[in-house]
Amino acid sequence: MTTGSKLNGKVAVVTGASKGIGAEIAKQLAAAGAAVVVNYASSKAGADKVVADITGAGGKAVAVQGDVSKEADIAKLFAEAVKAFGGVDILVNNAGVYEFAPLEAVTPEHFHKQFDLNVLGLLLTTKEAVKHFGQKGGSVVNISSVAAGGIPMAAAYSGTEAAVDAITKSLAKELGRRRCG
């Protein structure tokens, strides 16, 4: 799998990497030479398959369960990354959830489920990653959606995606000076 050496020696944490876009991101990072931590919330089988695909192709990967809306799970995720590979150089904030609903169906639970994972989770994982980057710096990639522009029946979800875009711009200005970006 390590067809390129661009990321040799680098360690990447990819949240929400047990399926879909996150799984493909994890595989591509491994193909470029990175050791990859495949984070998942509930799909252990999916995460194990991504790890098997990566290791079967000669790459390095481990699966680590954790809900990135919870600080304790985030601390465990990064501790496992350090234990497995010695550090963290790259964070890809891909974990997210969406629930479409008309305005009449929006509840505090509906709102918090999406904002806690999609927005708070992104902030907390980035905060933890920066601690591990240290003086050498690192890279953070935030995955968002065209829903940030607003789509019908998805006011809460669209709000989370717009927040991700705004947070990304803000953190780029704040962390860029520290070589984290």
pLDDT at 2: 42
pLDDT at 125: 98
Residues 15, 39 contacting (CB under 8 angstroms): yes
pLDDT at 1: 44
pLDDT at 5: 79
Is 40 among the catalytic positions?
no
Residues 12, 34 contacting (CB under 8 angstroms): yes
Residue 85 burial (C-beta neighbours within 10 Å; 0-12, 13-18, 19+)? buried
Residues 44, 65 contacting (CB under 8 angstroms): yes
Topology annotation, domain 11-176:
Rossmann fold (3.40.50)
Catalytic residue among 92, 157, 159, 175: 157
- 171 phi and psi angles, rounded to 5 deg: -70, -30
Average pLDDT of each block of 10 consecutive residues along the chain (181 residues)? 75 98 98 97 97 97 98 98 98 96 96 97 97 91 89 94 96 82 54
pLDDT at 177: 77
The residue count for the chain? 181
State the residue for tokens 């305005």. Answer: 103
Sign of CA dihedral 94, 129, 110, 148: negative
Domain ranges of the chain: 11-176
Q: Please give the torsion angle defined by the CA atoms of residues 44, 46, 48 and 54, in that order, rounded to the nearest 10 degrees.
A: -150
Q: How many CB atoms lie within 10 A of CB 3?
A: 12
pTM higher than 0.75 for the full model? yes
pLDDT at 146: 86
pLDDT at 149: 83
